[in-house]
Amino acid sequence: MNNTLIIGAGNLGSNIAYGFIGVSDEKRPMQKVYIYDTNKKKEEQFEQYEKNIIFVKNLSLVLKKSKIIILAIKPKDFKDVCEKIKECINKDAIVLSVMAGIKISSLKKELPHNTKFVRLMTNLNIQVFQGITAIYANNKVKNVDKKRIETFWSALGEVYWLKSESKINDFTALIGSGPAYFIYFCECLVNIYKNFGLSKKDATLFVHKLMIGTAFLTDPYFSDIKYNQAIKKIASKGGTTEEALKILQKGQFASILNKSIKAAYEKAKSLDGK
């Protein structure tokens, strides 16, 4: 009874599965992971990993043998999924929800009373082992299980334990949605580069290089560089960069970003019960 089952083979669920099989080492021997989705077409994407990622056909059978069940479905679908799994869920199972917004108290109402719950907020960067995962587990979850959960997720990037469940909403806005903020910024840059006459291919490559290079240059693991100091090295007084930054500041870029992240936070808070 040690299976791990992921329910929902979408953007996040499938990346969790790829991460799961990609992190084998001495501490984490290669394991099998089971994944279930109502959309049977999702099976195709796992064909080349058939020995390690098993697309579930008989859900109740796998449920009975699963210790860890990861709910990677959209918040709107959680009641349907709970209805489907509640009869067969193992009494020792721990349900890990990566869903935005849905509180443990809401999950509890739908599943047997002895089920243990952990909430996580992560992001798609786990696919390249650069994720950030915030985890909240209440005192019903044993330390040994917390350790096991941490061991897995820390192989996919940074792990940050939360003391209160409500903080998951902060991490949903900051971290879960986080990659999209960067990608949107890159998309804007690519379009501007194209307006300057670059091909889409070159523009995309150059923006990508800018992102990677800047990430390395400002990597807090390797130097204690401060962002404002790093900017000063580029934006010399009276120079071109300063001119560009003035426009960003005048246009209240920081305030717009702040507003948009707060909107994501408010949305996360409102998802429960919908």
Ligand X SMILES: NC(=O)c1ccc[n+]([C@@H]2O[C@H](COP(=O)([O-])OP(=O)(O)OC[C@H]3O[C@@H](n4cnc5c(N)ncnc54)[C@H](OP(=O)(O)O)[C@@H]3O)[C@@H](O)[C@H]2O)c1
Binding window for ligand X (CB under 6 A); candidates: 50-58, 60-68, 88-96, 121-129: 121-129
Q: Which of 80, 187, 219, 266 binds ligand X (CB under 6 A)?
A: 80
Q: Which residues contact 262 (CB under 8 A, 6 or more apart)?
A: 173
CB of 155 to ligand X, least distance (A): 18
CB-wise, 39 or 58, nearer to ligand X? 39
Choices 24-32, 69-77, 136-144, 245-253 (CB under 6 A): range interacting with ligand X = 69-77
- Contact at 8 Å (CB) between 7 and 81? yes
Residue nearest to ligand X (CB): 10
Which residues have C-beta within 8 Å of that of residue 177, sequence separation ≥ 6? 123, 261, 264
Q: Does 77 bind ligand X (CB under 6 A)?
A: yes
- Quick one: which of 4, 8, 90, 127 contacts ligand X (CB under 6 A)? 8
Alpha helices in 10-142 (DSSP H): 11-22, 59-64, 78-85, 104-110
Residue 16 in contact with ligand X, rule: CB under 6 A: no
Closer CB to ligand X, residue 156 or residue 203? 156
Decide: is 7 part of the binding site for ligand X (CB under 6 A): yes
Q: Which is nearer to ligand X, 98 or 207 (CB)?
A: 98
Q: What are phi and psi of 55, to 5 degrees?
A: -80, 120
Report whether 25 contacts 4 (CB < 8 A): no
**Residues 99-118 contacting ligand X, CB under 6 A:** 99-100
Q: Give me Rg for the CA atoms of the chain.
A: 21
Write each residue from 20 to 39 as x if it is in contact with ligand X (CB under 6 A), else as -, in one continuous string: ----------------xxxx
Minimum distance from CB of 179 to ligand X (Å)?
7
Q: Does the footprint of ligand X cover residue 59 (CB under 6 A)?
A: no
The pairing of strands 116-121 and 131-137 is antiparallel
Number of helices followed by number of strands (H, E) in the chain: 11, 8
Q: Is 62 in the site for ligand X (CB under 6 A)?
A: no
User: Please, which of residues 159-178 interact with ligand X by CB under 6 A?
Assistant: 176
Residue 56 has phi, psi (to 5 degrees) of: -80, 130
CB 166 within 8 A of CB 138: no
Considering the complex, what minimum distance in angstroms separates the CB of residue 127 from ligand X? 10
- For ligand X, give the closer residue by CB, 26 or 87: 87
Task: List binders of ligand X among 81-100 (CB under 6 A).
Answer: 81, 98-100
Looking at this protein, which amino acid is placed at residue 78? Answer: F
Q: Where are the alpha helices (DSSP H) in the chain?
A: 11-22, 59-64, 78-85, 104-110, 143-154, 167-171, 178-195, 200-217, 227-234, 240-250, 253-270
To ligand X, the closest distance from the beta carbon of 113 in angstroms equals 22
- Binding residues for ligand X (CB under 6 A): 7-13, 36-39, 42, 72-75, 77, 80-81, 98-100, 122-124, 176
